[in-house]
Amino acid sequence: MIERRCFLKLGAAAMLTLAAGKNFAAMPERKLSFYNIHTGESLSATYWAEGAYVGESLAEINHVLRDFRTNQAIAMDRGLLDLLYAINLKLDGKFPIHVISGYRSPATNAFLHAHSNGVAKHSLHMKGEAADIFLPGRDLSTLHRAALSMNRGGVGYYPHSNFVHVDVGRVRSWQG
């Protein structure tokens, strides 16, 4: 018998495949490129190949998406990586995804929550389930619409700060 969590993950993966508009499962590999605007680090990594996630690449991604303030990293949610891949695929992304925030330690999140607007007290960034991003060469509103079209997780639109928040929590949207 399939456990509920496994069933939900399989369903989410199927929805992501449909939302991406491509045969996601048949793709031989999935590659992501990142540029961390705070550290200046760049990474281009094949994180999924031959039907499985690539451990070494996942570790490199975790490092680039770490909390740069505390230098702490955790395992980023694979569903988030697949969501970022699907968004980038939909937009024919030719440039690295620029990351404003990936993982946030509880200490960093508490500090940001206390000193700025729009930072959730129980942010999914602390679980490695969220990223604040933009794509050079793409209008921010185009990125926002692409993220919304996935119909998977939360999408926050922050045009004044020039980023879109995406996460793999419940489906919802807001503007900051």
Q: What is the mean pLDDT of residues 42-53?
A: 97
From CA 139, how far away is CA 32, in angstroms rounded?
Answer: 19
Q: How far apart are CA 26 and CA 109, in angstroms?
A: 38
Share of the chain above pLDDT 90, in %: 76
More confident residue, 39 or 5: 39
Rounded CA gap, 27 and 5, in Å?
24
Alpha-carbon distance of 146 to 149, in angstroms, equals 5
Say how many domains are in the chain. 1
CATH value at residue 163: 3.30.1380.10
Q: What is the pLDDT of residue 117?
A: 80
Q: For residue range 85-104, what is the model confidence (pLDDT) as tens digits?
A: 999 999 987 889 999 999 99
Nearest Cα neighbor of 134 from 116, 152, 147, 118 is: 147
- Measured between alpha carbons, how far is 59 from 71 in angstroms, rounded to an integer? 14
pLDDT tens column, 94-143: 889 999 999 999 999 999 989 888 788 899 999 999 999 999 989 999 99
Q: Which residue has the higher pLDDT, 25 or 137?
A: 137
Whether 64 and 76 have beta carbons less than 8 Å apart is answered as no
Residue 113 sits in which domain range? Answer: 4-175
